[in-house]
């Protein structure tokens, strides 16, 4: 019962209005822009596109995969250093919580079990941190 109340409270907080992502005093929500993305988990740099919506950044990688990140702050001061937290298959609810669908290991072995819902606590580690590097030219 407590977990249900916690999840409901967190989801209600998500629906509160937040400001649009901004850079240089202008809204950049809804535009798909080319970026380089650094993963603190792997140390790799990846080519991708990003689309901002308030404090969520959706990354579209070259191979077709996507990743949702919760931005540290929706006002972007340095376009080459945009930090966000997220995990594959999860919607980050902040640095410490995420909710989403995680594939069952049995999917690869031919079992009939499908994806399972998950609620993760304790995120915010370096493995969840991503750095988006957006060139100022892409914003013009």
Please state the φ and ψ torsions of residue 61, each to the nearest 5 degrees. Answer: -85, 160
What's the pLDDT score for residue 91?
Answer: 56
Give Rg (Cα) of the chain.
Answer: 16
CA distance 9 to 20: 22
What's the pLDDT score for residue 72?
Answer: 84
Mean pLDDT by 10 residues, the chain (140 residues): 56 55 88 94 94 93 91 89 81 52 41 45 65 85
Q: How many CB atoms lie within 10 A of CB 26?
A: 9
What's the pLDDT score for residue 132?
Answer: 96
Instruction: Tell me the β-bridge partners of 39.
Output: 130
CA distance 36 to 76: 16
For residue 102, how far is the Cα from the chain centroid?
Answer: 15
């Amino acid at each position: 019962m407590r977990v249900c109340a916690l999840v409901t409270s967190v989801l209600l907080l998500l629906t509160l209005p937040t400001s649009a992502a901004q850079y240089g005093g202008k809204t950049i929500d809804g535009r798909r822009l080319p970026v380089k993305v650094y993963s603190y988990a792997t140390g790799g740099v990846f080519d991708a596109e990003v689309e901002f919506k308030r404090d969520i950044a959706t990354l579209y990688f070259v191979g077709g995969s996507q990743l949702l990140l919760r931005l540290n702050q929706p006002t972007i001061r340095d376009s080459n250093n945009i930090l966000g937290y997220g995990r594959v298959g999860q919607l980050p609810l902040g640095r410490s919580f995420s909710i989403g669908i995680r594939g069952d290991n049995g999917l690869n072995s031919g079992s009939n079990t499908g994806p399972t819902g998950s609620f993760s606590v304790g995120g915010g580690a370096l493995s969840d941190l991503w750095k988006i590097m957006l060139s100022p030219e892409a914003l013009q």
